[in-house]
Amino acid sequence: MAQLFFRYGAMNSGKTIEILKVAHNYEEQNKPVVIMTSALDNRDEIGYVSSRVGLRRQAEIIDEQTDLFEYVNNLSFTPACVLIDEAQFLKREHVLQAAKIVDTLHIPVMAFGLKNDFRNELFEGSKELLLQADKIEEMKTICWFCHRKALMNMRIVDGKPVYTGEQIQIGGNESYYPVCRRHYNNPPSQF
Protein backbone atom coordinates (compact mmCIF):
# COMPACT_ATOMS: atom_id res chain seq x y z
CA MET A 1 0.00 0.00 0.00
CA ALA A 2 1.52 3.31 -1.10
CA GLN A 3 2.00 5.99 1.55
CA LEU A 4 3.25 9.56 1.87
CA PHE A 5 6.32 9.62 4.10
CA PHE A 6 7.94 12.68 5.70
CA ARG A 7 11.42 12.19 7.09
CA TYR A 8 12.69 15.32 8.78
CA GLY A 9 15.80 16.26 10.69
CA ALA A 10 18.09 19.12 11.57
CA MET A 11 20.96 20.07 9.30
CA ASN A 12 23.55 17.26 8.95
CA SER A 13 21.12 14.49 9.89
CA GLY A 14 21.75 12.54 6.68
CA LYS A 15 18.54 13.29 4.79
CA THR A 16 20.11 13.48 1.33
CA ILE A 17 22.32 10.45 1.77
CA GLU A 18 19.21 8.54 2.84
CA ILE A 19 17.49 9.54 -0.42
CA LEU A 20 20.48 8.32 -2.39
CA LYS A 21 20.52 5.07 -0.42
CA VAL A 22 16.79 4.46 -0.95
CA ALA A 23 17.16 5.19 -4.68
CA HIS A 24 20.08 2.75 -4.91
CA ASN A 25 18.13 0.02 -3.11
CA TYR A 26 15.16 0.33 -5.49
CA GLU A 27 17.32 0.54 -8.61
CA GLU A 28 19.43 -2.41 -7.57
CA GLN A 29 16.20 -4.43 -7.88
CA ASN A 30 15.43 -2.87 -11.30
CA LYS A 31 12.69 -0.69 -9.83
CA PRO A 32 12.91 2.84 -11.27
CA VAL A 33 12.58 5.90 -9.04
CA VAL A 34 12.08 9.59 -9.59
CA ILE A 35 14.28 11.93 -7.56
CA MET A 36 13.13 15.54 -7.23
CA THR A 37 14.50 18.59 -5.45
CA SER A 38 13.73 22.26 -4.99
CA ALA A 39 14.90 24.79 -7.55
CA LEU A 40 15.85 26.97 -4.54
CA ASP A 41 18.71 24.69 -3.49
CA ASN A 42 21.76 25.97 -5.34
CA ARG A 43 24.47 24.86 -2.89
CA ASP A 44 25.97 22.46 -5.43
CA GLU A 45 24.17 22.81 -8.73
CA ILE A 46 20.48 23.31 -9.41
CA GLY A 47 18.87 20.00 -10.33
CA TYR A 48 21.16 17.82 -8.23
CA VAL A 49 20.84 16.25 -4.81
CA SER A 50 24.22 16.34 -3.13
CA SER A 51 25.26 14.82 0.17
CA ARG A 52 27.98 16.28 2.36
CA VAL A 53 29.83 12.96 2.05
CA GLY A 54 30.32 13.62 -1.67
CA LEU A 55 27.60 11.54 -3.33
CA ARG A 56 25.31 13.30 -5.81
CA ARG A 57 22.65 12.54 -8.39
CA GLN A 58 20.74 14.49 -10.95
CA ALA A 59 17.16 15.26 -9.96
CA GLU A 60 14.04 16.77 -11.45
CA ILE A 61 13.54 20.38 -10.38
CA ILE A 62 10.51 21.50 -8.40
CA ASP A 63 9.65 25.17 -8.79
CA GLU A 64 6.46 27.06 -7.99
CA GLN A 65 4.84 26.07 -11.32
CA THR A 66 5.63 22.35 -11.03
CA ASP A 67 2.63 20.07 -10.73
CA LEU A 68 4.06 16.95 -9.11
CA PHE A 69 1.03 14.81 -9.91
CA GLU A 70 0.97 15.78 -13.60
CA TYR A 71 4.71 15.25 -13.91
CA VAL A 72 4.59 11.71 -12.47
CA ASN A 73 1.33 10.83 -14.22
CA ASN A 74 2.81 11.77 -17.62
CA LEU A 75 6.05 9.79 -17.29
CA SER A 76 6.70 7.09 -19.89
CA PHE A 77 7.28 4.60 -17.04
CA THR A 78 5.74 3.95 -13.65
CA PRO A 79 8.20 4.72 -10.88
CA ALA A 80 8.37 2.40 -7.89
CA CYS A 81 8.83 5.45 -5.67
CA VAL A 82 9.09 9.24 -5.80
CA LEU A 83 11.84 10.74 -3.62
CA ILE A 84 11.79 14.45 -2.78
CA ASP A 85 14.76 16.30 -1.25
CA GLU A 86 14.53 19.74 0.42
CA ALA A 87 10.82 19.15 1.04
CA GLN A 88 10.64 22.10 3.43
CA PHE A 89 10.60 24.34 0.32
CA LEU A 90 7.47 22.70 -1.10
CA LYS A 91 4.30 24.75 -1.31
CA ARG A 92 1.05 23.45 0.17
CA GLU A 93 -0.14 22.60 -3.35
CA HIS A 94 2.96 20.46 -3.95
CA VAL A 95 2.26 18.41 -0.83
CA LEU A 96 -1.36 17.91 -1.88
CA GLN A 97 -0.13 16.81 -5.32
CA ALA A 98 2.26 14.34 -3.66
CA ALA A 99 -0.65 12.94 -1.65
CA LYS A 100 -2.62 12.60 -4.89
CA ILE A 101 0.27 10.57 -6.40
CA VAL A 102 -0.02 8.20 -3.44
CA ASP A 103 -3.83 8.02 -3.39
CA THR A 104 -4.53 7.96 -7.13
CA LEU A 105 -1.46 6.40 -8.75
CA HIS A 106 -0.60 4.16 -5.77
CA ILE A 107 3.05 5.21 -5.87
CA PRO A 108 4.82 5.86 -2.55
CA VAL A 109 6.27 9.33 -2.07
CA MET A 110 9.11 9.91 0.39
CA ALA A 111 9.78 13.55 1.24
CA PHE A 112 12.91 14.55 3.17
CA GLY A 113 13.58 17.97 4.66
CA LEU A 114 13.97 20.28 7.60
CA LYS A 115 11.05 20.65 9.98
CA ASN A 116 11.88 24.09 11.34
CA ASP A 117 13.94 27.06 10.26
CA PHE A 118 16.62 28.97 12.17
CA ARG A 119 13.90 31.03 13.93
CA ASN A 120 12.41 27.72 15.08
CA GLU A 121 9.31 28.18 12.91
CA LEU A 122 7.85 25.59 10.56
CA PHE A 123 8.46 25.83 6.83
CA GLU A 124 5.32 25.78 4.65
CA GLY A 125 6.18 22.43 3.08
CA SER A 126 7.08 20.87 6.43
CA LYS A 127 3.90 22.09 8.07
CA GLU A 128 1.76 20.59 5.32
CA LEU A 129 3.72 17.33 5.34
CA LEU A 130 3.23 17.04 9.10
CA LEU A 131 -0.51 17.36 8.46
CA GLN A 132 -0.77 15.11 5.38
CA ALA A 133 1.90 12.40 5.75
CA ASP A 134 0.88 8.84 6.50
CA LYS A 135 4.20 8.24 8.25
CA ILE A 136 6.49 10.77 9.92
CA GLU A 137 10.02 9.90 11.02
CA GLU A 138 12.70 12.00 12.67
CA MET A 139 16.25 11.59 11.42
CA LYS A 140 18.61 12.34 14.27
CA THR A 141 21.97 14.01 14.56
CA ILE A 142 23.95 15.50 17.43
CA CYS A 143 24.38 19.09 18.55
CA TRP A 144 27.37 20.97 17.13
CA PHE A 145 28.42 21.89 20.69
CA CYS A 146 27.58 18.82 22.81
CA HIS A 147 26.37 15.22 22.56
CA ARG A 148 22.65 15.91 22.90
CA LYS A 149 20.20 15.41 20.06
CA ALA A 150 20.01 18.38 17.69
CA LEU A 151 16.46 19.72 17.41
CA MET A 152 17.11 23.09 15.82
CA ASN A 153 19.14 24.84 13.14
CA MET A 154 21.27 27.78 14.24
CA ARG A 155 22.07 30.33 11.53
CA ILE A 156 25.59 31.75 11.78
CA VAL A 157 26.61 35.13 10.36
CA ASP A 158 30.16 36.39 10.89
CA GLY A 159 30.74 33.68 13.48
CA LYS A 160 27.71 34.59 15.60
CA PRO A 161 24.21 33.15 15.87
CA VAL A 162 21.31 35.17 14.44
CA TYR A 163 17.63 34.69 15.15
CA THR A 164 16.00 37.14 12.75
CA GLY A 165 15.99 37.54 8.99
CA GLU A 166 14.54 35.95 5.88
CA GLN A 167 13.39 32.40 6.39
CA ILE A 168 15.23 31.02 3.37
CA GLN A 169 18.97 31.44 3.02
CA ILE A 170 20.65 28.54 1.26
CA GLY A 171 23.78 27.33 2.98
CA GLY A 172 25.67 24.50 4.60
CA ASN A 173 28.07 24.25 7.52
CA GLU A 174 29.32 27.77 6.85
CA SER A 175 25.83 29.14 7.59
CA TYR A 176 24.05 26.65 9.86
CA TYR A 177 24.78 24.40 12.82
CA PRO A 178 22.51 21.64 14.10
CA VAL A 179 22.00 22.37 17.80
CA CYS A 180 20.13 21.13 20.85
CA ARG A 181 17.53 23.34 22.53
CA ARG A 182 19.94 24.36 25.30
CA HIS A 183 22.59 25.62 22.87
CA TYR A 184 20.00 27.24 20.60
CA ASN A 185 18.76 29.32 23.53
CA ASN A 186 22.18 29.76 25.18
CA PRO A 187 24.92 29.52 22.54
CA PRO A 188 28.50 29.14 23.75
CA SER A 189 30.26 32.49 24.07
CA GLN A 190 33.05 31.31 21.80
CA PHE A 191 32.55 29.16 18.75
Catalytic residues: 86
Nearest to 35 by CA among 15, 12, 10, 60: 60
CA atoms within 13 A on the CB side of 68: 33
Amino acid type, 172: G
User: Do the Cβ atoms of 69 and 97 come closer than 8 Å?
Assistant: yes
